[in-house]
């Protein structure tokens, strides 16, 4: 028995030594960041910009893997069950918090399945439509939607997605349910908006700014208290007659639960650097957003944000009584 205990103690100290040695030399190979939505959409865009900058600092390639479906919960589930070694990460948005209540049968326990790296950005939303959609402004859109509720189609990226939440806020503000059309992300939804297969969408500026400025889609409003520098001609929801319809979409970088603290700290430092990278700052500005400040790009700040947002959305979703299952 004594011999067995001694053997176990040696094995344990060897495992511990290997583990911390790995944490000290991390990263030694390619890192994967899962985006829980389709390629070409707003989460994908933000992730690729940040991953490129982090890769320079970490000295390893970072590949982005798109695992879309079920409002982001499939991708989150994939990372929740990955090895906690720092080589599989998740970049997700507000949907991480809302899905915790919207999905009563999630494959993971949101608050216990992840470790935290830091907040990444907070992105304004825009209410947009296909280019030839009839209403000329937000007031006209509200009147048209109320009169044609069974015909107006609203694209979103599945239940719990940012576009779904924003679409729900719009329908609730005008007290009219419209026809929703779910996609695996607003990348493919944008393709259909451009092609005229769907009428309207509420989506992040990181996916809509280029199309709005290029005149390939119509913009009715930004969901911010003030107009955006990058879209000075687009009125706010307040100006357009929907006061109080304001929403911004925060994003965070996560690792599976059990990732060594040295690794999440290393990733957090790299994230902070990436968010100051001149290319990231400039591209974010062109897309109507700003990187999270350094104190927010930390494990503690993301943990507090996620906990606070789950608490904030739970009673709202429960009162609405609408779940994903
Ligand atoms: C959303 O609506 O949640 C996002 O637009 C998802 C995406 O990145 O496609």
Q: Is the CB of residue 222 less than 8 Å from the CB of residue 203? A: no
- DSSP SS3 for 288: coil
pLDDT band at 13 (very low <50, low <70, confident <90, very high): very low
Cis before residue 313, ω within 30 degrees of 0? no
Q: Is the pTM of this model over 0.75?
A: yes
Q: How far is the CA of 183 from the centre of ligand 1 (A)?
A: 9
Span 243-262, pLDDT tens digits: 989 999 999 999 999 999 99
Q: How far is the CA of 90 from the centre of ligand 1 (A)?
A: 14
pLDDT band at 322 (very low <50, low <70, confident <90, very high): confident
Q: Which residues pair with 92 in a beta bridge?
A: 252
- CB-based contacts of 143: which residues, under 8 Å, 6+ apart? 135
Question: Whose Cα sits closest to atom 8 in ligand 1?
Answer: 43
Please tell me if the CB atom of residue 189 comes closer than 6 angstroms to any atom of ligand 1. no
Worst-scoring range by mean pLDDT, 24-28, 55-59, 201-205? 24-28
Please tell me if the CB atom of residue 31 comes closer than 6 angstroms to any atom of ligand 1. no
Q: Which atom of ligand 1 lies nearest, measured to the CA of 95? A: 3
Q: What is the pLDDT of residue 286?
A: 97
Q: Is the CB of residue 292 less than 8 Å from the CB of residue 121? A: yes
Dihedral, CA atoms, 206, 207, 208, 211, nearest 10 degrees? 120
pLDDT band at 24 (very low <50, low <70, confident <90, very high): confident
Q: Which atom of ligand 1 lies nearest, measured to the CA of 183? A: 9
Q: How far is the CA of 199 from the centre of ligand 1 (A)?
A: 17
Q: What is the pLDDT of residue 14?
A: 43
Please tell me if the CB atom of residue 203 comes closer than 6 angstroms to any atom of ligand 1. yes
Span 134-170, pLDDT tens digits: 999 999 999 999 999 999 999 999 888 999 999 999 9
Mean pLDDT of all residues in 29-51: 97
With the C-alpha atoms ordered 38, 44, 45, 51, is the resulting torsion angle positive or negative?
A: negative
Dihedral, CA atoms, 87, 61, 124, 300, nearest 10 degrees? 40
Span 64-120, pLDDT tens digits: 999 999 999 999 999 999 999 999 999 999 999 999 999 999 999 999 999 999 999
Longest Cα pair distance anywhere in the chain, in angstroms? 82
With the C-alpha atoms ordered 73, 78, 84, 88, is the resulting torsion angle positive or negative?
A: negative
To test the pocket of ligand 1, the residue of 99, 162, 190, 251 to mutate (highest count of ligand atoms within 8 Å of its CB) is: 162
Q: How far is the CA of 204 from the centre of ligand 1 (A)?
A: 8
Please tell me if the CB atom of residue 272 comes closer than 6 angstroms to any atom of ligand 1. no
């Amino acid at each position: 028995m004594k011999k067995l205990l001694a053997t176990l103690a040696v094995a344990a100290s060897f495992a511990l030594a290997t583990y911390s040695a790995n944490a000290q030399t991390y990263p030694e190979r390619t890192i994967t960041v899962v985006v829980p939505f389709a390629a070409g959409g707003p989460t994908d865009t933000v992730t690729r910009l940040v991953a490129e900058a982090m890769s320079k600092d970490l000295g390893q390639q970072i590949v982005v893997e798109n695992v879309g479906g079920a409002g982001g919960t499939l991708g989150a589930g994939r990372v929740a069950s990955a090895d906690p070694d720092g080589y599989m990460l998740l970049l997700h948005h507000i949907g991480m918090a809302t899905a915790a209540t919207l999905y009563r049968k999630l494959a993971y326990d949101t608050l216990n399945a992840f470790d935290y790296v830091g907040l990444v950005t907070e992105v304004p939303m825009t209410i947009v439509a296909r280019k030839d959609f009839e209403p000329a402004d937000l007031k006209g859109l509200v009147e048209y939607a109320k009169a044609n509720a069974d015909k107006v189609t609203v694209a979103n990226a599945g239940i719990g997605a940012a576009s779904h939440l924003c679409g729900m806020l719009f329908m609730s503000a005008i007290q009219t349910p419209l026809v929703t059309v779910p996609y695996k992300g607003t990348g493919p939804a944008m393709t259909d908006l451009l092609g005229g297969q769907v009428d309207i969408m509420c989506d992040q500026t990181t996916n809509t700014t280029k199309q709005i400025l290029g005149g390939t889609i119509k913009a009715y409003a930004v969901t911010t208290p003030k107009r955006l520098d990058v879209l000075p001609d687009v009125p706010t929801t307040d100006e357009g007659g929907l006061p109080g319809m304001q929403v911004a979409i925060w994003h965070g970088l996560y690792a599976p639960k059990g990732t060594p603290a040295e690794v999440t700290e290393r990733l957090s430092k790299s994230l902070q650097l990436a968010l100051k990278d001149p290319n990231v700052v400039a591209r974010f500005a062109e897309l109507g957003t700003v990187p999270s400040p350094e104190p927010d790009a930390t494990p503690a700040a993301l943990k507090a944000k996620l906990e606070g947002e789950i608490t904030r959305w739970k009673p709202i979703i429960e009162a609405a009584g609408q779940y994903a299952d």
